Structure 1
Amino acid sequence: MTNADRFLGRAHAYAAARPDYPEALGAWLRDSGLLERGVADVGAGTGLFTRLLLTHGARVDAVEPNPEMRAELESSLQDAVNAGQLRVHAGTSEGTGLETASVGLVTAAQAAHWFAPAPTVTEFRRVLKPGGRVLLVWNDWRGEDTPLNHAYGEVVRKHSDVSTPEAVSRVPDAELAGLLPGGYAQRTFENAARLSRERLHALAGSVSYLPAPGSPGAPALARDLDALFDAHAQAGQVTLSYGTHAYLGRLDR
């Protein structure tokens, strides 16, 4: 199974349930001038981060290997496609299909932990304009110290696929140099997701290493999610706290 194939059948749940990215992150990118020379959003998925880039004025080439996620992205952002602000490509971090020296910023949100560092760096160097930068972003609920986060973590550990690769959430800081060999600066933004019961179920259904909707393991996962929700809900929702970790770096040593 390829990394892209891990998300087959999960695109709708992904688009419906995954958390957005903080407006403060988009404003920081805009105010830093990083969006002015074009952006390649690689591993764009269903377009959650692509939307943030577009909202803050970027011209975006979205690259995504999974056909279901790519279709979801293109459908949800059709207005930007029609306006010429967004182009959607079938491609990977190792072969984006983009023109050489065509963008000033490459972004990868919730995706770079699936990339092979060496060929990815080679490809990013090819598509970046001189002085271009790379931004890696992850929304991560792990490490956020709340009762709901701890309870959700227990459910995830109980139901995770035993064959899941170790790097399923984000690249550890100690390994980031493989993707950002020229060094990087880090910023973290608070990001809370308010979840209904249905969105909590969809969130789990969007995770590649948890039982897929309709699979044999799905009913047991659903029961544990219901128990979690009943124990923690207030006014019909629970709040899963995320840290949005942004790493802005260069490729040249």
Structure 2
Amino acid sequence: MTNPDRFLGRADVYASARPTYPPALGEWLVGLGLLSGRVADVGAGTGLFTRLLLTHGSGPAFAVDAVEPNPEMRAQLETALAQETLAGRLRFHNGTSEATSLDSASVSLITAAQAAHWFSPVSSVQEFRRVLAPGGQILLVWNDWRGVDTPFNADYRAVVTHFSREDGELISRVPEQELPALMPGGFETRIFNNPIPFTRERLRALAGSVSYLPSPSDPGFAAVAQQLDVAFETHSAGDHVTLTYRTHAYLGRLD
């Protein structure tokens, strides 16, 4: 199974359940002057991070090239952000980190949110060198609930660990000590708090969007949902629980 195929049949739950990104991240990028030129959002998925770029980006040269190989996710993205396309601020591409289909030296910033742990570093860096304009930078971002010590985070982790079909710890994001393979010119780190409220339905959808758990159409998903309901009932305040994420942002260069 290819990495894009891992998410076939999960685009709807991915779009409805995955966490958004904190506005403070967008404001940081604006303060650095990084959202006034052309941006390639690689592995754009259903457009959760693409939206943050479009919300904070401005200026006559600003636009986003959303690169996504999964046809179901790309369709979600195209439908949800059709007005941005009509406004000339967004283009879609069927591509990967290794073959983006973008023109050479065409973007000033490459972003990858919740995606770079699927990239092949050597061939991806080769492609990034081709499409980045001189002086361009790379931003890798992950929302991660692991390592945040709250009672609900612990119970959610227990459910995920019990039903995981592979080592989810390894594929949640690239370990920091391995990031130089993707950003050989060095990088800086920023971490943003990102608590996200989940209803019972959204929590189930979140689990259904995770590639190493049973999909919502899998008979095994019923057991996952049952255990999530137990955790929800234990920790809910009103109609929701809070899964506390930290947003890890790594801004670097190729040279």
- Could you say which TM-score interval applies, normalised by the shorter chain? over 0.9
Q: Within 1, Cα distance between the matches of 2:168 and 2:25?
A: 29
CA shift for structure 1 position 168:
1.4
TM-score between both structures, scaled by the size of structure 2: 0.97
Q: Within 2, Cα distance between the matches of 1:9 and 1:52?
A: 25
Alignment of 1:15-94 (within 5 A): 15-57=15-57, 58-94=62-98
Q: Within 1, Cα distance between the matches of 2:216 and 2:145?
A: 22
- Quickly say closer, same or farther: Cα 1:166–1:191, change in 2 above 3 A: closer
Give per-residue Cα distances to partners, 1:102-122, cap 9 Å, x unaligned. 000000000000000000000
Q: Within 2, Cα distance between the matches of 1:43 and 1:222?
A: 28
Q: Within 1, Cα distance between the matches of 2:106 and 2:204?
A: 40
Alignment of 1:1-253 (within 5 A): 1-57=1-57, 58-162=62-166, 164=167, 167-252=170-255
Structure 2 unpaired stretches of 5+:
none
Alignment: residue pair count: 251
CA shift for structure 1 position 216:
2.0
Give per-residue Cα distances to partners, 1:67-95, cap 9 Å, x unaligned. 00000011111110111100010000000
CA shift for structure 1 position 167:
2.8
1:203 aligned counterpart, secondary structure? helix
Give per-residue Cα distances to partners, 1:138-175, cap 9 Å, x unaligned. 0000001100000000000000013x576310000110
Q: Within 2, Cα distance between the matches of 1:159 and 1:81?
A: 39
Q: Within 2, Cα distance between the matches of 1:97 and 1:70?
A: 15
2:190 aligned counterpart, secondary structure? strand
2:249 aligned counterpart, secondary structure? strand
Structure 1 unpaired stretches of 5+:
none
1:167 aligned counterpart, secondary structure? helix
Give per-residue Cα distances to partners, 1:183-215, cap 9 Å, x unaligned. 000000000110000000000000000110020
TM-score between both structures, scaled by the size of structure 1: 0.98
Q: Within 1, Cα distance between the matches of 2:217 and 2:130?
A: 42
Moved more, 215-224 or 89-98: 215-224
CA shift for structure 1 position 37:
1.9
Quick check: 1:36–1:104 contact (8 Å CA) kept in 2? Answer: no
Quick check: 1:41–1:106 contact (8 Å CA) kept in 2? Answer: yes
1:182 aligned counterpart, secondary structure? coil
Give per-residue Cα distances to partners, 1:198-244, cap 9 Å, x unaligned. 00000000000011002021111011011010111001100000000
Q: Within 1, Cα distance between the matches of 2:171 and 2:244?
A: 18
